């Protein structure tokens, strides 16, 4: 039994909060960590008689994201109501897109290091089933001490894009890499800030295992994953748990489990919804969402009134994969270098800025960026923006090195000094610490002679062998 191989199957449901000024169906503001219930419109509070009005920016964000993920954009998509009772859902239903979502059938390519070696990267693809627009819920906190539930509706109604990734992944590492790439794409597009810590990107994993050739096993849904690192851990734990359970003759329940980051395991959630029937029904207050492309756009349409998919497509920024290719091509760096550059917010820009300001070849600059700069930042938990060494200063230093005015050892010493952020220039530090390389041959001979003269005995020993 433990000899037969197991094939783990991992799919993901990702909720990305749309980066917009106002909510999906109402004009109240979107803002993180505002005072409770300070960003709640009448519609968000579900006051009777209020109606949803679709936010154009949210639609554009979803179209951009769909195009970036190679999806077909549905020119007609529909809104539905998904009903359930919960304190953070004031209307008793969520407006979502169950029947016909805005985008379908896309793909996402991501890269993995084999055996943790950056030099061996492999590209994988995961299919995107669909992207749908839907409302976020509010937040509820349980105050057990006072037997009450506190409800904050600031988040209720914020626009979400739900991105459904097909079960094409096989382990935590793949899931993590796919989500990381999605995160970068969303941030590049600006359609979501996708910061997991602020709840702007939430990931639920669907995990199952089966023997090759056999049908897929029962899957569990894993929730409460708060970082990409925990995602990998949660998925791998759950795969292992299922394998052990099955090998011990047990069965897997089709249930929801929560990841406990402290214990590093998944725990069965008391099924708060049971086998919920959401009683889906078309949302009667929103007409079908019609999008146009250049071919179908009616002649007299007011540009403000319509969304033109082609117009959006033309204006998409370079996606991470394209950016990486360009970096490799333009600067002759290795693919794995470009990955690291894009993985760190602002690092690619920093690198390019240094390259512009120095004569040193990019292939050499990259070493300084990835080894010296990045490791220092990591050690001190700083972002590139917070770096005490600016691209100007680093370029200045590298120029000294390039002109052979200092050795590379000396350069590293200067860098250490620069980190202190005392405002000295590299040249000033070099002069202070007397790190200049000697260019004068005669001066060099004189120094050597002085050393030899001072070490007579050692010299004789050396000459004698």
Partner 1 sequence: AALNDRLRSQVSAALKEGRVTPTELCQRCLALIKSTKFLNAYITVAQETALKQAEESEERYKRGQPLGILDGIPIAVKDNFNTAGIETTCASNMLKGYISPYNATVVQKLLDQGAVLLGKTNLDEFAMGSGSTDGVFGPVRNPWSYSKQYKEKCVPKSHSEEEESNWVITGGSSGGSAAAVSSFTCFAALGSDTGGSTRNPAAHCGVVGLKPTYGLISRHGLIPLVNSMDVPGILTRCVDDAAVLLGSLAGHDPKDSTTIQDDFKPFELPNLTDISKLSIGIPKEYNVPGLSSEILALWSKAANLFKNAGAKVVEVSLPHTRYSIVCYHVLCTAEVASNMARFDGLEYGHRSDMKDSTESMYAATRREGFNDVVRGRILSGNYFLLKQNYEKYFVKAQKVRRLIANDFVKVFRSGVDILLTPTTLSDAAPYTEFIQEDNRTRSAQDDILTQAANMAGLPAINIPTALSERGLPVGLQFIGRSFQEKQLLTVAKWFEKQVQFPVIQLEEVKRHDTGIFQDQKSASFS
**Which residues, in sequence order, are CB contacts of 296 under 8 Å at separation 6+?**
75
Tokens 């096993």 appear where? 217
Per-residue mark of binding to partner 1, 63-82 (x: CB under 8 A)? ------------------x-
Q: What is the dihedral of CA 374, 375, 380, 381, to 10 degrees?
A: 60
- Residue with Cβ nearer partner 1 (83 or 127): 83
- Residue with Cβ nearer partner 1 (211 or 279): 279
**What are the C-alpha distances in Å from 208 to residues 46, 129, 211, 302, 346?**
38, 18, 11, 50, 37
Least distance CB 375 / partner 1 (angstroms): 51
Per-residue mark of binding to partner 1, 231-270 (x: CB under 8 A)? ----------------------------------------
113 binds partner 1 per the rule CB under 8 A:
no
284 binds partner 1 per the rule CB under 8 A:
yes
Least distance CB 284 / partner 1 (angstroms): 4
**Which residues, in sequence order, are CB contacts of 406 under 8 Å at separation 6+?**
400, 414, 430, 435, 436, 437
d(CA 176, CA 169): 10
281 binds partner 1 per the rule CB under 8 A:
yes
Max Cα distance, the chain (Å): 104
CB 330 within 8 A of CB 356: no
Residues 128-147 that bind partner 1 (CB under 8 A): 147
Tokens 């734990």 appear where? 237
171 binds partner 1 per the rule CB under 8 A:
no
Options 7, 34, 87, 328; binder of partner 1; rule CB under 8 A: 87
**Residue positions counted in the chain:** 465
Per-residue mark of binding to partner 1, 313-332 (x: CB under 8 A)? --------------------
285 binds partner 1 per the rule CB under 8 A:
yes
- Residue with Cβ nearer partner 1 (87 or 265): 87
CB 248 within 8 A of CB 264: no
- Residue with Cβ nearer partner 1 (86 or 311): 86
Options 15, 57, 75, 83; binder of partner 1; rule CB under 8 A: 83
Contact segment (CB under 8 A) with partner 1 among 13-21, 276-284, 333-341, 393-401 equals 276-284
Least distance CB 127 / partner 1 (angstroms): 26
304 binds partner 1 per the rule CB under 8 A:
no
Least distance CB 79 / partner 1 (angstroms): 10
**Which residues, in sequence order, are CB contacts of 418 under 8 Å at separation 6+?**
388, 389, 393, 394, 397, 424, 426, 429
Query: Exposed (0-12), middle (13-18) or buried (19+): which is 383, by Cβ within 10 Å?
Result: exposed
Contact segment (CB under 8 A) with partner 1 among 83-91, 159-167, 229-237, 430-438 equals 83-91
CB 406 within 8 A of CB 430: yes
Count of Cβ atoms closer than 10 Å to residue 280 Cβ:
14
Token reading at 189:
């597009």
Count of Cβ atoms closer than 10 Å to residue 112 Cβ:
16
Per-residue mark of binding to partner 1, 13-52 (x: CB under 8 A)? -----------------------------x--xxxxxxxx
Footprint of partner 1 (CB under 8 A): 42, 45-54, 81, 83, 85, 87, 90-93, 147, 149, 151, 277, 279-281, 284-287
């Amino acid at each position: 039994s433990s000899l037969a191989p197991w094939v783990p199957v991992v799919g993901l449901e990702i909720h990305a909060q749309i980066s917009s000024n106002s909510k999906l169906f109402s004009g109240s503001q979107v803002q993180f960590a505002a005072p409770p219930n300070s960003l709640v419109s009448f519609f968000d509070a579900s006051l009777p008689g209020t109606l949803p009005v679709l936010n154009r920016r949210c639609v554009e964000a979803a179209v951009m994201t769909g195009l970036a993920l190679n999806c077909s954009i549905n020119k007609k998509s529909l809104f539905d109501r998904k009903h359930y009772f919960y304190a953070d859902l004031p209307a008793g239903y969520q407006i979502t897109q169950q029947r016909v979502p805005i985008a379908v059938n896309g793909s996402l390519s991501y890269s993995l290091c084999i055996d943790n070696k950056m030099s061996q990267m492999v590209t994988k693809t995961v299919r995107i089933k669909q992207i749908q627009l839907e409302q976020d819920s509010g937040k509820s906190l349980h105050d057990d001490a006072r037997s009450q539930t506190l409800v904050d509706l600031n988040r209720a109604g914020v626009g979400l894009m739900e991105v459904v990734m097909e079960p094409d992944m096989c382990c935590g590492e793949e899931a993590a890499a796919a989500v990381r790439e999605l995160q970068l794409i969303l941030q590049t597009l600006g359609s979501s800030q996708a910061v997991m810590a602020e709840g702007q990107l939430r990931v639920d994993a669907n995990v199952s295992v089966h023997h090759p050739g056999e049908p897929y096993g029962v899957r569990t849904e894993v929730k409460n994953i708060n970082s990409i690192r925990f995602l990998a851990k949660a998925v791998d734990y759950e795969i292992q748990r299922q394998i052990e359970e099955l090998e011990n003759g047990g069965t897997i329940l089709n249930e929801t489990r929560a990841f406990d980051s402290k214990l590093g395991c998944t725990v069965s959630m008391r099924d708060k919804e049971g086998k919920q029937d959401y009683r889906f029904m078309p949302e009667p207050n929103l007409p079908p969402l019609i999008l146009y492309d250049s071919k179908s756009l009616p002649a007299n349409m007011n540009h403000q009134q319509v969304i033109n998919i082609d117009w959006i497509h033309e204006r998409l920024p370079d996606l991470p994969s394209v950016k990486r290719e360009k970096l490799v091509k333009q600067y002759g760096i290795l693919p794995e270098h470009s990955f690291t550059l894009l993985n760190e917010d602002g690092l690619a820009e920093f690198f390019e800025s240094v390259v512009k300001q120095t004569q040193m070849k990019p292939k050499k600059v990259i070493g300084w960026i990835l080894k010296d700069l990045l490791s220092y930042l990591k050690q001190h938990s700083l972002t590139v923006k917070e770096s005490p060494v600016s691209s100007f200063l680093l370029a200045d230093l590298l120029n000294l090195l390039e002109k052979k005015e200092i050795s590379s050892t000396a350069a590293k010493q200067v860098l250490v000094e620069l980190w202190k952020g005392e405002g000295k220039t590299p040249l000033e530090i070099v002069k202070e610490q007397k790190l200049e390389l000697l260019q004068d041959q005669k001066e060099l001979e004189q120094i050597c002679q002085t050393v030899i003269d001072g070490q007579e005995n050692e010299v004789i020993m050396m000459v004698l062998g």
